[in-house]
Structure 1
Amino acid sequence: MKTRIKELRKERKLSQEELALAVGTTRQTITSLEVEKYTASLQLAYKIANYFGLSIEEVFDFSEVE
């Protein structure tokens, strides 16, 4: 699943570790999300979107989800 996490994180000058700590996950999970190797749970997607002050749809692209 495509995401804007890396773009949003870099705009705010956050490391993967800082974002992970802020949303209660690991740096490895953030890395996996950014390279599209992992799909976030609804709870994690909400936390990430909320952290950036955006809706889930503004962070995650659901157009290719079957």
Structure 2
Amino acid sequence: MDVRETFATNLRRLRNARRWSQDELAFEAEISRGYLSKLEIGAYYVSIKIIGRLADKLDVDAAEFLKRPAKRDPHSPTRVLLPIHFSELFRSP
């Protein structure tokens, strides 16, 4: 994963953690939604000025955008979610 992809992944993750739409963050950061969208897919490079605006509006340190995800241990168990039918939630034991 290169730096641009890392930035894009973290930007999307941080925006979603705030439960903001692209429109909301773009408005707050005073950038266009189209530009924000391109940043989130890693299509554009971002300036320090825009990183500062985004960090300010998302209330995070600018370094958060460049943190690489932790490598997953291939031997650790993976959580698996199994589908459950709605009626099973109310079944008596």
Shorter-normalised TM range: 0.7 to 0.9
- 2:25 corresponds in structure 1 to 19
Unaligned runs of 5+ in 1: 62-66
Contact between 2:18 and 2:58, CA under 8 Å: does it hold in 1?
no
* Stretches of 4+ aligned residues off by more than 4 angstroms: none
Query: Per the alignment, in what secondary structure is the counterpart of residue 14 of structure 1?
Result: coil
Query: Per the alignment, in what secondary structure is the counterpart of residue 25 of structure 1?
Result: coil
Quote the Cα distance in structure 2 between the aligned partners of 1:45 and 1:17. Answer: 17
- The structure, 1 or 2, with the larger RCO (C-alpha pairs under 8 Å, 6+ apart) is 1
- TM-score when normalising by structure 2: 0.60
Matches within 5 A, 1:1-66: 1=4, 2-3=6-7, 4-60=10-66
Q: Larger C-alpha radius of gyration, 1 or 2?
A: 2
Number of equivalent positions: 62
CA 1:60–1:28: 2 relative to 1, 3 Å: farther
CA-based RMSD of the aligned residues comes to 1.6
Unaligned runs of 5+ in 2: 68-93
